[in-house]
Amino acid sequence: MFLLVAVVAAGATALYPIWKRANPDPPELTLRYRKATTATAAAAEPSLEIFNESKKPLPLSEVTLRYYFTADDGSYAFNCVQTAFGCSGLAGSVVELDRPTETADHYLEIRFTDGAGTLRPGANSKGIDLQLYRVDHKKLDQSDDRSFDAAKKTYQESKTVTAYKRGVLAWGEQPDGSTPDDDARNAPGADPVPDVPSGVLFDNFHYTGAKDPALFKHGWLVRTSDGGPGIEDTWSADGVTFPAQKDALGDGQVLNLRASTDGTKAGTTQASLGTSGREFRSGTYAARIHFSDDPASGRTGDHVNQTLYTIGGKGSTYSQLDNEYMPNGGWGRLGPKLDNVTWHTVEDRV
């Protein structure tokens, strides 16, 4: 009798993994996906929702998402357009897969800070709107991207986008069918994403162009209105671009504002990127400025002016900070020369 019980117990133990695969535990979270573009587009725009299916609170800082795609000939960058908890509550990176498949050789990984908050049982994150694009700004072909689904025009569950809780696969299917336990290289990093300190503003200018909706969502305004300074009514969005290095992967973009003139209104274009907020009225800010001694066009020796200048306010609140580099001289002096000017209007009160 004892031998029979032992044999039965051993058989049950051997069969348990098979039974478990056929009867998995309910997922702790589910993921819904909605596409916002056609297969050929300037940028992939996946929108994701995380649902807490457990009976316990789910800190988003414990969750990692991966959106899989095949990289066309070019490097990629990511941007957050908007979320219910604010884009400062997440961080993203573009990663090359160690074991690529026909529909995935890279993925966009999204992680969250403590500031993203916690989902109560049964709650969802609302839409997490993302952008993925080539830094050379050429169009994408998403037809062979694993996570892209042209049929999902509204939020629906998607197993081709994976979600992890504390590094353990909690939702979806990895492209090669493996799990993080099969290969530690597939597991998301365990280091927490730091929160942005209070009062800190940062922008890496990861945008597709002057008409990028993320630009407006992040508080920036491209000027096309009338008025001065300079030759009036010459403001254009065409001079606002975000170039990048060819080999940049998720990094390396800069803001480029280009203005030119031949002294006439018809031959003048100006470019400006501004904000209607007052974040820059006080405090300290820093910018990395790249200067070159080569003229962008024209004869060698043209008086090229490369500058970063910030202005704000009107009348008694007007302030200005200029950095102007003229490799071939200007303003009546030989180059190279760098001019720095600061101005702050103060109204005395008695």
Most confident option among 40-44, 243-247, 298-302: 40-44
Q: Is residue 6 part of a domain?
A: no
Instruction: Name which of 203, 197, 195, 201 is nearest 282 in CA terms.
Output: 201
Cis peptide before 229 (omega within 30 of 0): yes
Average pLDDT for the chain: 85
Q: How do residues 281-328 score in pLDDT, each as one tens digit?
A: 777 778 878 788 877 666 666 777 888 888 887 777 888 888 888 888
Checking if the pLDDT of 343 tops 80, the result is: yes
Q: Is residue 137 part of a domain?
A: yes
Q: Is residue 181 part of a domain?
A: yes
Phi, psi of 329, deg, nearest 5: 90, 175
Q: Give me the percent of the chain exceeding a pLDDT of 70.
A: 85
pLDDT mean over 250-259:
80
Q: Is residue 11 part of a domain?
A: no
Quick one: pLDDT at residue 13?
60
Instruction: Give 277's pLDDT tier (boundaries 50, 70, 90).
Output: confident
Domain with 168, as residue range(s), is: 28-186
Q: Is residue 71 part of a domain?
A: yes
Query: 79 pairs with which residues across the strands?
Result: 131
Number of domains in the chain: 1
Checking if the pLDDT of 255 tops 60, the result is: yes
CATH of the domain at 178: 2.60.40.710
Please tell me the distance from the alpha carbon of residue 50 to that of residue 60, in angstroms, as a whole number: 9
Sole residue written with tokens 């470019």: 271
Phi, psi of 317, deg, nearest 5: -105, 5
Q: Give me the percent of the chain exceeding a pLDDT of 90.
A: 51
Phi, psi of 315, deg, nearest 5: 55, -125
Q: How do residues 53-75 score in pLDDT, each as one tens digit?
A: 999 999 999 999 999 999 988 78
Checking if the pLDDT of 188 tops 70, the result is: yes
Q: Is residue 268 part of a domain?
A: no
Checking if the pLDDT of 102 tops 90, the result is: yes
SS3 content of the chain, % helix, strand, coil (to 5): 15, 35, 55
Q: Other C-beta atoms within 10 Å of 271: how many? A: 21
Query: 257 pairs with which residues across the strands?
Result: 240
Quick one: pLDDT at residue 245?
72
Q: Is residue 10 part of a domain?
A: no
Q: Is residue 313 part of a domain?
A: no
